[in-house]
Amino acid sequence: MSQPEKAWARTRIKICGLGRPEDIDKAVALGVDAIGFVLWPHSSRAVSLEQLATLSARVPSFVTRVGLFVDQSPAFIEPCLTYLDCLQFHGDETPEACDAFGKPWYKALRMRDGLDLQAAAARYRNAGALLLDAYRPGVPGGTGETFDWSRIPASLAKPVILAGGLTAVNVAQAVAGVAPFAVDVSGGVESSPGHKDGEKMAAFVRQVAQADNR
């Protein structure tokens, strides 16, 4: 894989699927850029609206609170908006559906065979970024699986958030090979579903910094 030129001074980090106050405090202390709350109720990492209200209050200014949704109705999403800075759409949402909430958003795309990323970037033209995740039929995300990073074009009209099976072991290689705007990790920094592991989060953040030569 050739080394793409870095367009960013540093690789942003999002840790997703946090459900415990102590995990949020640790992630914030480690300097992550974004905290992800899974609001899709079928996930083992899902938080309720009440939990979202409590957990989001622990996140200080300048750390982005991201809400993850999978093909959910406006009636479900709207009450969550007060507690979120940005929306991650991880299903088959249309661009119009993503645009409907007056919040910054980005679109997750699962890297199934034949996916045309250039066409997707044009279609989701109002997205702040494209999050690229592994494809497993019937599972919308959070699989812990990687995909072939060489499928990502060197030049794409949207910033790339690289996700899918990232861990402290492979993230430096991912950052060097893809030069994404950001990396997103969930299962790779867990001790069990929904329970983040402080050491694994710290190792992940360290590896990204090293890959950035910071």
Ligand X SMILES: O=C(O)c1ccccc1N[C@@H]1O[C@H](COP(=O)(O)O)[C@@H](O)[C@H]1O
Nearest distance in Å: CB 80, ligand X: 15
Nearest distance in Å: CB 138, ligand X: 12
Mapping DSSP onto H, E and C, the string for the chain reads CCCCCCCCCCCEEEEECCCCHHHHHHHHHHCCCEEEEECCCCCCCECCHHHHHHHHCCCCCCCEEEEEECCCCHHHHHHHHHHCCEEEECCCCCHHHHHHHCCCEEEEEECCCCCCHHHHHHHCCCCCCEEEECCECCECCCCCCCCCHHHCCCCCCCCEEECCCCCCCCHHHHHHHHCCCEEEECHHHEEECCEECHHHHHHHHHHHHHHCCC
Would you say 10 or 136 has its CB closer to ligand X? Answer: 136
As annotated, the active-site residues are 16, 133
Q: Does 38 bind ligand X (CB under 6 A)?
A: yes
Residues 61-100 that bind ligand X (CB under 6 A): 68, 70, 90
Nearest distance in Å: CB 74, ligand X: 19
The binder of ligand X chosen from 18, 152, 185, 208 (CB under 6 A): 185
Instruction: Summarize as ranges the residues that interact with ligand X (CB under 6 A).
Output: 16-17, 36, 38, 40, 43, 45, 68, 70, 90, 131, 133, 140-144, 163-166, 184-188
